[in-house]
């Protein structure tokens, strides 16, 4: 038996992340990735799945819609189109960074664009969604 993954472990793995039956990212058919747990390299809900797994090992996890937070409608912001630079790429699905308070910025996804305004969703992109996380742990230090 190999090593057990703990908080702070350096983990080498292949993984697939999917949502609503659509693959978001996968390293299953390519080079493995190495992450240091606890450093922000991997989202906390995904790290939580790995804690306690043995290396080597394979497993699939179905994360609840609240794993990345519930979708909060107050984080949907309608912003005047004139607030964006004229050359800004304002298309649905594009990521933007905007000021939310003086000296504070947040990233979000454009959900709607019209002649007068742009609707930006400041929720985590996976908030309120069920996510499947599949891993093939290769090694752990």
Mean pLDDT by 10 residues, the chain (141 residues): 89 96 94 95 95 96 95 95 89 90 91 95 94 97 90
Question: Which pLDDT does position 99 carry in this prediction?
Answer: 83
C-alpha distances out from residue 5 to 19, 28, 53, 134, Å: 25, 20, 5, 16
Assess contact for 88 and 81: CB atoms under 8 A. no
| Contact by Cβ (8 Å): 110, 93 | yes
- Torsion angle (degrees, nearest 10) of CA 53, 61, 135, 59: 60
The pTM assigned to this predicted structure is: 0.80
Q: Is-contact 54 4, C-beta < 8 A?
A: yes
pLDDT of residue 98: 86
Q: How far apart are CA 54 and CA 6, in angstroms?
A: 10
Q: What is the pLDDT, as a whole number, of residue 107? A: 93
Q: Which tokens in the block code for residue 40?
A: 């922000």
Beta strands in 1-141 (DSSP E): 10-19, 22-26, 33-36, 57-63, 76-80, 95-101, 104-113, 117-121, 131-140
Domains and CATH numbers, the chain: 10-68+127-140 (3.10.50.40), 73-121 (2.40.10.330)
């Amino acid at each position: 038996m190999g090593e057990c993954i703990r908080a702070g472990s350096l983990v080498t793995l292949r993984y697939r992340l999917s949502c609503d039956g659509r693959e978001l990212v996968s390293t299953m058919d390519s080079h493995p990735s190495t992450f240091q747990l606890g450093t922000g390299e991997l989202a906390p809900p995904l790290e939580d799945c790995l804690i306690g797994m043995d290396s080597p090992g394979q497993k699939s996890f179905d994360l609840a819609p609240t794993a990345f937070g519930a979708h909060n409608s107050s984080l949907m912001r309608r912003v005047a189109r004139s607030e964006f630079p004229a050359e800004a790429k304002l298309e649905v699905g594009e990521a933007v960074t905007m000021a939310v308070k003086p000296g504070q910025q947040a990233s979000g996804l454009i959900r709607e664009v019209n002649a007068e305004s742009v609707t930006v969703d400041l929720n985590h992109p996976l908030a309120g969604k069920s996510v499947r996380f599949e891993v093939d742990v290769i090694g752990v230090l």
